[in-house]
Structure 1
Amino acid sequence: MDGLDEQLRTLVKQACEHPPGSPERQKNLTKVIRLATKKLWKEHTPYYEDALQQTWVYFCHNICEATTGQVYDPTKGSVVTWLNTYLKRRLQDFYIDTQKQQARTAPGQIKSARSGEINDIIDPVDILEADPDVPPMLDDVRTWAEADSTGELRRISIEGYPKITAQILILRRLPPEASWKKLSAEFGLPVSTLSSFYQRQCIPRLRKFGESEGYI
């Protein structure tokens, strides 16, 4: 076991000595996230950020108590190994869902292309079940987005749709998140338009906030 693994295991032990939701537990879990992030599996796929978000939600729910899955067992491996195992499974799920979605939409797209119509491929995140519980760190993100002290999130919007702002999409995509399919129907815009705006305008600002708070 290297020094980082031992440090992470110690922080987890200290965190779990405190009750769920307590500042002491949150402080130690935040340290775990900051350190473990450097060792997590990385890949350049459209759904990596969603899979990573699911991994951190799973981490917060099961690192000390078995809430939504198997509780972390330090005798079976390091914290990083546990997280990477879950992350890779979620990435695999996304990949499989993407392949299935493409298989379902391909015939329709070919038909539409022949008739001169333009359809958008449904984002695979649509078929994911939303998690009903929100860990403390996501409460911080929600508070930050709702407050929007600089007004930046409210100012940035999809061109031609001033009411569909970065603030709105960030809040709607926080667990329990609304699917892209649902948002598409609600706002009357293609999934590709919404998800592209989210990737370009929302993800960078979420990452910047996470860095400023020491989450990543």
Structure 2
Amino acid sequence: MVQFDEHLRRLVSEACEHPSGSPQRQKLLTQIIRLTANRLWRESTPYYQDALQQTWLYFCRNVCEGLTGQIYNPTYGSVITWLNAYLKRRLQDFYINQNREQATTVHLRVRQSTSGGTRETIDPVDNLPATPQPPPILEDLEIWVKTDSEGELCSTYIKGRPDVNCQVLILKRLPPEVSWKELSEEFGLSIPTLSSFYQRQCLPRLRKFAELEGLL
């Protein structure tokens, strides 16, 4: 394991010697991703793939320049430790958001009496923190999705449902993401149908964009 970590550090060092977006750096970053992919934290939560996607984007943006976060520092730990720390934070964010959505659907109301004898209805969900704004790392993605210059995202849709296309789903799944449950209710389609289409058709196009931009 020590030799493997040292090998990754050398690859990172070599990658960062090349200019951002250069074919040489892209090739090395892709090699690092392939080497580490099977060693990262794994769990069977429905939002794991979304969190993992954000982790790879974070890695490519911050491993050398620290564009949207703290630059990778090998003295603080291995590449895998660094990636796992970020991945677990994103999973925690998804977990918190999911619980918030569940709390919202419960519509739990607590009635309290005021000093004047009137009764006020308080929703505990109102006291929860607002959903965070999308991190800067995803701004370029959002612009690309909305522009859809070649119309590929709009033309890729669930059979018989042109309104449920990759452009719509990607935008809704970017942070602060809309839950699959909400999307299921909005479009009248099952969660497995939506999630499967997203994994098969939309995520590959996201990865292609990331590769073209030098993020992967």
- Counterpart position of 1:96: 96
- Counterpart position of 2:82: 82
State the distance in 1 between where 2:56 and 2:139 align. 9
Closer, same or farther in 2 for the Cα pair 1:206/1:162, shift >3 Å? closer
Residue 168 of structure 1 aligns with an amino acid whose one-letter code is Q
Give unmatched runs, 5+ long, in structure 2: 109-129
- Contact residue 133 and residue 176 of structure 2 kept, 8 A: no
State the distance in 2 between where 1:169 and 1:84 align. 30
- Contact residue 153 and residue 167 of structure 2 kept, 8 A: no
- Counterpart position of 2:29: 29
Shift of 1:7: 2.0
Root-mean-square deviation (CA, aligned residues, Å) is 4.0
Report how many aligned residue pairs link the two structures: 184
Alignment of 1:127-166 (within 5 A): 127-133=131-137, 154=155, 156-157=157-158, 159=160, 161-165=161-165
- Contact residue 62 and residue 72 of structure 1 kept, 8 A: yes
TM-score, normalised on structure 2? 0.66
Give unmatched runs, 5+ long, in structure 1: 109-125
Shift of 1:130: 2.5
Shift of 1:51: 0.9
Closer, same or farther in 2 for the Cα pair 1:10/1:152, shift >3 Å? same
Residue 202 of structure 1 aligns with an amino acid whose one-letter code is Y
Post-superposition Cα deviations, 1:18-55, rounded to whole Å, max 9, x if no partner, equal 12111111111111111110101110111111111111
TM-score, normalised on structure 1? 0.66
- Counterpart position of 1:180: 178
The secondary structure found in structure 1 opposite 2:74 is coil
The secondary structure found in structure 2 opposite 1:162 is strand
- Counterpart position of 1:202: 198
Residue 197 of structure 2 aligns with an amino acid whose one-letter code is Q
Shift of 1:87: 0.6
Q: In terms of Rg, which structure is larger?
A: 2
